Amino acid sequence: FRDEVESLFSGNLVLVGSALLVTALLLVSTQLVKTGEKKIPFLDAFIMGIAQAVATIPGISRSGATISTALLLKNNRSDVAKFSFLMVLLPIIGAALLDILSLSSSPAQNSIAVGSLITGFLAAYLSGYLACTWMISLVKKGYLYWFAIYCALVGIISIVFA
């Protein structure tokens, strides 16, 4: 569904803004219910996977959707934070492999320097690590409402300027 998903990224700010508001509502909803202490069972992990798939819509936060879904299913907050960030690894690795395969099939068109690729990888790794560490800390402390406020503000601004 790569082409279908990529077509959603055509600059539709109303869609993005609306989806950010949905993300904010999901995050706020976790503050309104008491979370549980159960370990993440198979069915809950499957439902989190569905939430991750829905998060391909621009503006739906992948981590926000998976974390909110798991917390609403009464899973352990600490386990949810870690699992949410681990479950993104397979799609990222799969997409990277597909991109590498498409690059290797037409090497004449690719003139990206190896140093640039390494620099980009290191920058993405470092910023991703810092973002994940920060988000896991927020989830463990129950401070998702800060992320909800951010999503709501950016969503409203996107809709207004659309």
Residue 13 pLDDT > 70 = yes
Asked if pLDDT for residue 21 goes beyond 90, the answer is yes
What was the pLDDT predicted at 24? 94
Q: How confident is the model at residue 110, as a pLDDT?
A: 58
pLDDT tens digits for range 25-68: 998 988 887 777 888 999 999 999 999 999 988 889 888 899 99
The pTM (predicted TM-score) of the whole model is 0.76
Whether 51 contacts 12, CB under 8 Å: no
Q: Measuring CA to CA, which residue among 66, 92, 91 is closest to residue 81?
A: 66
Give ∠ CA 154-32-82 in degrees, rounded to 5.
70
More confident of the two residues 74 and 37: 74
Q: Residue 85: which pLDDT band, with cuts at 50, 70 and 90?
A: confident
Q: What is the pLDDT of residue 108?
A: 55
* 153 compared with 7, residue with greater pLDDT: 153
**How far apart, in whole angstroms, are the C-alpha atoms of residue 103 and residue 137?**
37
Higher local confidence (pLDDT), 53 or 81: 53
The structure tokens listed for 115 are: 């140093």
Token pair of 65 as six digits: 């959707």
Residue 143, φ and ψ in degrees, nearest 5:
-95, 35
pLDDT per residue over 103-161, tens digit each? 666 655 556 677 787 888 789 889 888 887 887 787 777 777 888 999 999 999 999 99
